[in-house]
């Protein structure tokens, strides 16, 4: 993808994607809580705070799922690597 085709906030998204998992979980929950507080303040319904918090927690869970899938894909590549074929052991003892 060339520099012209990247989205406006592409660098910000790439930077957020490279944050450590723990930081990204905290950031996701804080952004969700902040959105809930703003919605509660401007719209006036108390339950909107909980909705924003739920969105933040859901985003944090999604971050964990994505990190797991990425790590699993990398380990699956190693599984098929001939360099590690000799390490296959039989654990039927």
Residue 88 in domain: no
Residue 28 in domain: yes
The DSSP-derived string for the chain is: --TTTS-TTHHHHHHHHTS-HHHHHHHHHHHHHHHHHHHHHHH--THHHHHHHHHHHHHHHHHHHHHHHHHHHHHHHHHT-GGGGGG------
Instruction: Answer yes or no: is pLDDT of 5 > 60.
Output: yes
Residue 4 in domain: no
User: In this predicted structure, what is the pLDDT of residue 88?
Assistant: 59
Please, which pLDDT band fits residue 10 given cuts at 50, 70 and 90? confident
Top pLDDT among 17 and 33 is at: 33
pLDDT digit string (tens) for 36-68? 999 999 999 999 999 999 999 999 999 899 988
User: In this predicted structure, what is the pLDDT of residue 28?
Assistant: 93
Domain count within the chain: 1
User: In this predicted structure, what is the pLDDT of residue 2?
Assistant: 52
Residue 3 in domain: no
Instruction: Answer yes or no: is pLDDT of 35 > 90.
Output: yes
Top pLDDT among 77 and 92 is at: 77
Domain of 17 in residue numbering reads as: 10-83
């Amino acid at each position: 993808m060339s520099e012209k085709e990247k989205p406006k906030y592409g660098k910000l998204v790439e930077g957020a994607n490279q944050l450590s998992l723990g930081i990204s979980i905290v950031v996701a929950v804080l952004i969700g809580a902040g959105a809930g507080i703003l919605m509660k303040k401007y719209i006036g319904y108390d339950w909107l705070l909980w909705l924003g918090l739920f969105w933040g927690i859901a985003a944090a869970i999604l971050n964990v799922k994505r990190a797991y899938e990425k790590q699993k894909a990398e380990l699956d590549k190693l599984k098929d690597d001939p360099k590690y074929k000799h390490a296959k052991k039989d654990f039927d003892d």
